Amino acid sequence: MEQIKINLADRFKAYSDMAVIHKILAGEKEMFEILIRRNNPYLYKVGRSYGYNHEDTEDLMQDAYINAYLHLGDFKNLAEFRTWMVRIMLNQCYQKTQKSSYKNEIPTEIKPEEKKNPLFNNNLQDSENLMINKELGQLIESALQKIPRDYRMVFSLRELNGLNVKETAEVLDISETNVKVRLNRAKSMLKNELANMYAPGEVYEFNLIYCDRIVEKVMGRIAAIG
């Protein structure tokens, strides 16, 4: 069963998101699995960056996917499907926050500083650095949670999810200038000694076992929709 799932995703790597969407709308709803697997890492990082734990984030991801499936015909391809999904996930996070009266941490005022160097260095490939990255990954996540949400979300979308400035501005409904300012401030709030040590993929990492679980649950709910 696991091999079938993986083969399905691999088989349609050459298909654009829009091509997959057309197939789903034509009745091949099993193709929705492709969109789930493509977007799981992005939605997971959004939920965790918003401040939710692993379990709550998985629940929010499922709801976001079902919401997207039910309104798939509304996707007009005016932006990337990933951007559309991130918006839906952010909306799910916001709604849960409103329902549960979720309390944000009170940030300490930190003087922002411009950083010319990228926070993450993707060139660290030797085994020693990889081991360090794994061991201290939780420390990075903890540091990120201390950043005010407005800055944390820009950081997550730009540095961890790879959205460009324009996409981030559209998702968060702020100006491109604000995106740049918030990203610089977010970086300055993290300790300088953490700079250049971690690859984006190791922060809020979404493992394959979680991906398979989300696929199974969402596709089960979709099958029940009929």
Residue type, position 120, single letter: F
Rounded CA-CA distance 170/163 in Å is 10
The encoded tokens of residue 49 equal 């960056």
Helix (H, G, I), strand (E, B) or coil at 116: coil
Residue 52: which of 94, 5, 7 has the closest Cα? 94
pLDDT above 50 (res 114): no
- pLDDT interval class at 205 (50, 70, 90): confident
Q: How far is CA 197 from the centre of its chain?
A: 21
What CATH number labels 2-103+207-225?
A: 1.10.1740.10
**Average pLDDT for the chain:** 79
More confident residue, 155 or 197: 155
Specify the pLDDT at position 18: 95
- pLDDT interval class at 8 (50, 70, 90): low
Q: Which of 6-20, 119-133, 196-210 has the lowest mean pLDDT?
A: 119-133
pLDDT above 60 (res 104): no
Rounded CA-CA distance 130/127 in Å is 5
Q: What is the pTM of this model?
A: 0.68
Domain limits, the chain: 2-103+207-225, 127-202
Q: Which of 22-31, 39-48, 85-94, 111-120 has the lowest mean pLDDT?
A: 111-120
Residue burial 35-74, b: 16+ Cβ < 10 Å; e: rest = bbbbbbbbbbbbbbbbbbeeebbbebbbbbbbebbeebee
pLDDT above 70 (res 95): yes
Specify the pLDDT at position 10: 66
Residue type, position 198, single letter: Y
pLDDT above 70 (res 125): no
More confident residue, 128 or 87: 87
Helix (H, G, I), strand (E, B) or coil at 5: helix
CB 15 within 8 A of CB 34: yes
Fold classified for 127-202: Arc Repressor Mutant, subunit A (1.10.10)
Which H or E run contains 127? helix 127-135
Q: If you average pLDDT over residues 205-225, what whole number do you get?
A: 86
What sign does the CA torsion over 67, 21, 45, 8 have? positive
The encoded tokens of residue 133 equal 């990255």
Q: If you average pLDDT over residues 56-77, what whole number do you get?
A: 95
Angle CA 206–71–82, to nearest 5: 35
